A and B are shown apart, each in its own frame.
Chain A
Amino acid sequence: MSHALDVFGWFDNEYDGEGFRTCSVTSFDVHRSVENYVKLYGVTAVVFLLIGGIFAFTIAMTRWEAIGLLEPGDYYRHLSMHAWSMLIFWIIFMEIAILYVGGPMVLGRKLPAKWAAAAGYVVMLAGSVLIYYSIWTVSGDPTSDNAPLLTAYVPLEINPLFYVSAIVFLIGVTLAALPFLLTLWDEKRENPGKTLPLVTFGAFVAAIIAVQSILGGLIAFGGALAWQLGYAPWFDASIYRQWFWIIGHGTQQINLVAMIVVWYLVTHVIGGAEVVSEKVSRTAFILYLFFIVMGAAHHLMVDPGLSAGWRIWNTSYAFYGATFASLIHAFTIPAGLEAGRRKRGKGGGLFGWLTSAPWRNPVFASSIFAIILFGFLGGITGVLMGQLQLNMSWHNTFATVGHFHSTVVLGTTLTFMGVVYFVIRTMFMREFVSPKLTTLQPYLYSGGMALTALMMMYVGILYGIPRRTAEVVENIPGTDFSIAGAAPLFDVFGLVAIFAIGGGALFVLLAVGSLLFGDRIEPGDGDLAPDGGSTTQQATDSRTIAPRNDLEQAEDPDDPVHAYEMRGTFVLCLIFLAVFVVAYILNWFLLTQLWSIGA
């Protein structure tokens, strides 16, 4: 039944007369339309990851000034390409795929408005190509044609085509999200009394935040364009910054919610986790919905013209409402794993549930490393630098770059790499070309990237190295001064960055290799079972193989999951809180060593 254009046999799964098949891993009723679009968006995302990764190499080798790969003018073009390929194209194409999984696939429905999924894809792609064109053709003349970087801050003179392309991309995303929203609409009309599954509920929250963000983005980019064309002379730097960060920050919160949704899904499907409290988890998602949009303000902590009260209220998401929500998930996700595994006899002692987990399964390992590293590196630093006063020592330093590589790379990208592996196995139905390397890859990438992010933070905080610059350690043009003391640290940074990029390249090789050359898994093959599936089938250690039937959902209402021990999780969370408190105190200590500033 393969389509003539489908030369790789990527879209030729067997479906029943209605176009459905039952997934042997998740037991989802998967409709052809949903699955095909998930594949399409997913594969496209990986291409953008590859492009972004090439630019990660060129910019990292420029910031490592001992190598000094690029000329400054080229540096900013490459940096812009890196930011848009990675943060926007790779992540958002993946997120559309995740919405289609979280909505129609989980609910066992067809994809409604397929035309919107197709049109959205084409328009997003067109927007991406236009953005690439407008970045790559920048002349670099400071008075007329600057590289946009991620932010395209008004009133820097930037090619108007760039703002137009960004708007085109946003329109594409809106179209692509439509089938997800329609799915929920149909589901609710057909089953008014039924509660949505937690994963779908979370995806819905992500979609609402996406709507807010897209509106903010249209105002920011549309306003900038109108200002450039002379229609809105009143549109200025501060107004742009506020609206830009509605989308700039909002998209990060979409990443956060989407990744949490994946964590609930992966720990459940592969690790046997359960939801320890629907009430608590859902309340946490609702808290995001209420408070997260305020987070845009934490990019404006050291901006002029905003009252201290306004900044404190907003940066704290009103008494840290959204931070509290994240603290909740930090407990409920591992607790779900702990209680779920204990319930199935998979965990003795304090951490038996964790040591017996399927660590060789790359889907599982990616998500778990993401949870840990996102929390410890990204989450803690985010709250620190989001405090009004501490922001003075973080703002626009290389440490900021370290913070967001901990969130969008160690968190989101790592998680989404696991999703790609999952899609390869369960939807493309391909074995990995090298199970051993696939098992290893999340370890290499997260290790390398964690060190890279830590080095970024280190040179940023302790040496005040600025972000977004091509030269500062070896030489600053026009002066004898340079921050030469940081040069040895940049040697370390350069090496670990190469290591991390290697881990990322390995991912692309394995993903593309498996899609092209991986053996096909025939429908009904039992080895797709979660713990026994994936690479763990090769494992000789019997502890890592947990047959699916063991992890079957326990249906017994007299054996509620909340009654199981959560000691291990509790201890882990206390360690997390302790690290948080220590980092907080250290940062404040450093700040109070400074000369006095401020009214």
Chain B
Amino acid sequence: MTSPIKPPEGNWWDQPVNRRESIWLGLGVGWALVLFGWMSAFTRIGDQNPIGETYRVTSEELQERVDEFEAAAEERDDGALVPAGDDIYVVGYQFDWDGLPVVLETGREYDFHLGSYDVQHGFSIRPEHAYSQQINLHVTPGKEWVVPMEFDEPGTYHVLCNEFCGEGHRGMHNTIIVED
């Protein structure tokens, strides 16, 4: 009567449900609400959210902005840029990150302008002192994504690309130097 390969007979809809099964259904609903509730609440109360304004841009416009940013910044002996303000640019192209390396200060909030000149790339960043602390964001051409970040620990942060973007993809590396 209750075979999955035979049509159920009679009024199968009104068959009672086992008590433990009902309890499990209740637990399932509860857990689903926790998952949803926490994820939504964290956008308000949490410090780690992949959220920021996005603007449409062409590659040429983006290139101009990065050029302006680099011109305004001060270049150190090691080639790293010390930005003039709180905006910094990290723009992927085959096969490097434009706008890097930069020198940032701990405890100061920067607006990261993420984008791409050509194909899709993956912005993947981790500090040299703790690989497990890593953040990954996707970048697409045609979009400038402004995501604020504030570092609390000094160190060298390595930016890799983790979206396949052509044969040189594996060499797409640059750094962000965070100092006190």
- Which residue numbers of A lie inside 8 Å of B, CB to CB? 26, 28, 72-73, 76, 106, 140-143, 146-147, 149, 153, 155-156, 194-199, 236-238, 241, 264-265, 268-269, 273-280, 300-305, 308, 312, 316, 319-321, 323-324, 327-328, 331-332, 335-336, 339, 383, 387-389, 391-397, 461-464, 466-472, 476-479, 481, 483, 485-486, 553-555, 557, 560-564, 566-567, 569-570, 573, 577, 580-581, 584, 588, 590-599
Contact = CB atoms under 8 A, between A and B. Distances in A.
- 8 nearest A-B residue pairs (beta carbon): A142-B166, A598-B49, A464-B134, A466-B162, A304-B145, A320-B32, A477-B171, A596-B47
Nearest to B127: A595
B132 A590 contact: yes
Interface of B: 1-8, 10, 12-18, 20-21, 23-25, 27-29, 31-33, 35-36, 38-40, 42-43, 46-54, 94-95, 109, 114, 118-120, 122, 124, 126, 128, 131-145, 147-153, 158, 160-171, 173, 175
Contacts of A591: 48
B167 A73 contact: yes
Given A555-B1, A598-B50, 11 more contacts: A156-B119, A264-B4, A277-B17, A277-B18, A304-B52, A395-B137, A397-B136, A468-B169, A481-B158, A592-B46, A597-B149
A485 B158 CA distance: 14
Contacts of A76: 164, 167
Given A279-B17, A470-B170, A595-B153, A389 B3 contact: no
B88 to A, nearest CB: 13
Contacts of A567: 20
B17 A592 contact: no
A592 B42 CA distance: 11
Contacts, number: 326
Contact of A302 (B118, B126, B138, B143): B138
A567 B18 CA distance: 11
A392 B2 CA distance: 45
18 contacts: A76-B167, A146-B167, A156-B119, A197-B3, A237-B140, A277-B21, A302-B137, A388-B43, A395-B122, A397-B136, A464-B126, A477-B168, A485-B131, A570-B24, A595-B152, A597-B47, A598-B47, A598-B148
A554 B86 CA distance: 73
Contact of B124 (A396, A486, A562): A396
A276 B21 contact: yes
Given A264-B4, A328-B25, A594 B133 contact: yes
A323 B12 CA distance: 25
A156 B51 contact: no
Nearest to A483: B131
Contact of A594 (B40, B48, B145): B48
B17 to A, nearest CB: 5
A203 to B, nearest CB: 11
Contacts of B139: 304
Contacts of B12: 195, 278-279
